[in-house]
Amino acid sequence: MIIVSDTTSVNYLILIDHIDILRELFGRIMIPQAVWEEFHNQGTPEIVRLWVDSSPSWLEVRQASETFIASVGQLGAGEREAVALAKELNADAILMDDRKATKEARKHGLTTIGTLAILAKASERGLLDLTGALRKLAQTNFRFPLAEVIDDLIEAHEQTKQDATDQD
């Protein structure tokens, strides 16, 4: 499975201490050089910079080709290179949250997965408690969607847990 990520999911999963779910869910994650550089911007939390500097072998930094980068619309450097790298590698999915970037990725035929979907998927596999992870995420500067979306996500999670209990 080929998974490319922009900055957001990796950043927030580090901040809420659930970064290892990426390895559990997807195996290897690739980030473009521009994303690696974004992790070293002055405003990046130190815990994120330190993790990236000593990142595990399942996080791989790759450079997207200029040809693919040029074919992507007006996005930030990390998002643009993530979309380009995902296109170039024919990735199974790209991890990103930004609406404009997600729209651009889908325009290029890419499957996108946001941070909330990653957390929900990890919860379904028993890798974390969704409600607890969302509480931790709320303590960051993550831009949550409407409260109804979060309520629906938690309700679906609770229903899945109940269905599993009923089957036992």
Do 154 and 87 fall within a single domain? Answer: no
101 & 155 share domain: no
Let me know: does 131 contact 41? Beta carbons within 8 Å. Answer: no
Cβ(96)–Cβ(114) below 8 Å: yes
Q: Are residues 38 and 86 in the same domain?
A: yes
Last residue of a domain, one of 114, 132, 158: 114
pLDDT of residue 54: 95
Distance CA 94, CA 18 (A): 18
Q: How far apart are CA 51 and CA 70, in angstroms?
A: 30
* DSSP H or E run through 112: strand 112-113
| Choice between 159 and 114, residue whose per-residue pLDDT is larger | 114
**Each residue of 98-138: pLDDT tens digit?**
989 999 999 999 999 999 999 999 998 999 998 899 889 98
Check whether residue 137 and residue 89 sit in a common domain: no
If asked whether residues 110 and 122 sit together in one domain, one would say: no
- Residue 143 is predicted with a pLDDT of 82
Q: What is the mean pLDDT of the chain?
A: 88
Domain count, the chain: 2
Domain range for 100 = 3-114
Indicate the pTM of the whole model.
0.85
12 plus 55 within the same structural domain: yes
Per-residue CA distances from 59 to 3, 15, 17, 91, 150 (Å): 10, 17, 16, 15, 29
Judgement on whether residues 99 and 53 belong to the same structural domain of the protein:
yes
pLDDT band at residue 150 under the 50/70/90 scheme: low
In this structure, the answer to whether residues 54 and 132 fall within a common structural domain is no
Q: Does the structure show a pLDDT above 70 at 149?
A: no
Per-residue pLDDT tens digits for 59-93: 999 998 887 777 787 888 899 999 999 999 999 99
